[in-house]
Structure 1
Amino acid sequence: MNFISKYAIKAFLGLLLAVILFHICIILKIIPYDITWGGRLTNDAEMYVFETISILINVFLSWVLLMKGNLVKFKLSNKVVNGILWIFFAIFILNTIGNLFAKTFFEKFFAILTGLSAILIWNILKEKKTTNR
């Protein structure tokens, strides 16, 4: 694994930690949920469901990144790990486009984070091509 991939994994893990903490702050009502999810959440029950799912997805992505970086003992095959990362890459690209067209500035700001996430995944995935030549 090259330096750029290792750095991208570590940077992305840091970003995911910040995102998980953000979602925890929403659950704890430190951050109001009406400024997230496009303002579509109408009650606390919906917020708890959406935020829990978000946290689980971010923990799953962190676990996949730990496997990609050989930072955990249990590991799925590289093909599976790369497949999962390609799916997340597509999701982050689509999410970036969606955030750019969001109604609130707060959500438009997240286009920066989702775009950065896509760039980091791209750098992690392109490493595979350079090492297999």
Structure 2
Amino acid sequence: MKRIPEKKATFLLLTILSIVIAFHLLILTGLIPFEIVWGGRLKNTSGMVIFEIISIAINIAMLLVVCLHGGIIKSNVKPGLIKGFLWIMFFLFLLNTIGNLASNNIYEKVIFTPLTVLLAILSLNLAVSKTGRN
């Protein structure tokens, strides 16, 4: 399998994660109905708020990891630790893909399944990269 160039994978991950964060903020504000996420299993606004805040926090943390790996944010974090977090991201996106496939919501199956597959591939690409500009 041909690998995606590291800069391109970094750019795509940062772009998609930023869009995902914006999407979850729109759900949190009520501009997008929460029934289309979390497998359609959320039943009330208070449950949605908790899940959305957790989701936003996780996505921000992943954005930070990609920024550290790409050298966008300079730090003394060891490259091995960043690579470890990229592997965790890969496995989380794989699990998320399985969850999307099992969803009761057609939007999650049709739109978010391919998206999480792409995010998994991009995370794996960075996790196995030889470099990392941090």
Please, what TM-score do these two structures have when normalized by structure 1? 0.89
Please identify which structure carries the higher helix content. Answer: 1
Q: How does 1:62-77 map to 2 (within 5 A)?
A: 62-77=63-78
How many residues are treated as equivalent by the alignment? 128
Query: What CA distance in whole angstroms lies between the structure 2 residues aligned with 1:98 and 1:46?
Result: 18
4+ runs of 1 displaced by more than 3 Å? Answer: none
Q: What residue identity is the alignment partner of 1:26?
A: I
Provide structure 2 residue ranges, at least 5 long, that are not aligned to the other structure. none
Q: What residue identity is the alignment partner of 2:99?
A: G
Q: Which residue of 2 aligns with 1:12?
A: 13
C-alpha root-mean-square deviation of aligned residues, in Å?
1.7
SS at match of 2:55: helix
Q: Which residue of 2 aligns with 1:115?
A: 117
Instruction: Determine if contact 1:67/1:75 at 8 Å carries over to the other structure.
Output: no
C-alpha distance after superposition, 1:10-44 (max 9, x if no partner)? 11100001000100110111111112111221211
Query: What CA distance in whole angstroms lies between the structure 1 residues aligned with 2:121 and 2:76?
Result: 24
Instruction: Determine if contact 2:40/2:104 at 8 Å carries over to the other structure.
Output: no
Instruction: Determine if contact 2:17/2:59 at 8 Å carries over to the other structure.
Output: yes
C-alpha distance after superposition, 1:59-94 (max 9, x if no partner)? 100000000011112241111111111111011112
Q: Percent identity among equivalent residues?
A: 42
Q: Which residue of 2 aligns with 1:40?
A: 41
After superposition, the Cα gap between the structure-2 partners of 1:54 and 1:20, relative to the gap in structure 1 and judged at 3 Å, is: same
Query: What CA distance in whole angstroms lies between the structure 1 residues aligned with 2:115 and 2:97?
Result: 8
Per mean C-alpha deviation after superposition, the further-off stretch among 95-104 and 49-58 is: 95-104
Instruction: Determine if contact 2:101/2:113 at 8 Å carries over to the other structure.
Output: yes
The answer to whether 1:23 aligns with 2:24 is yes
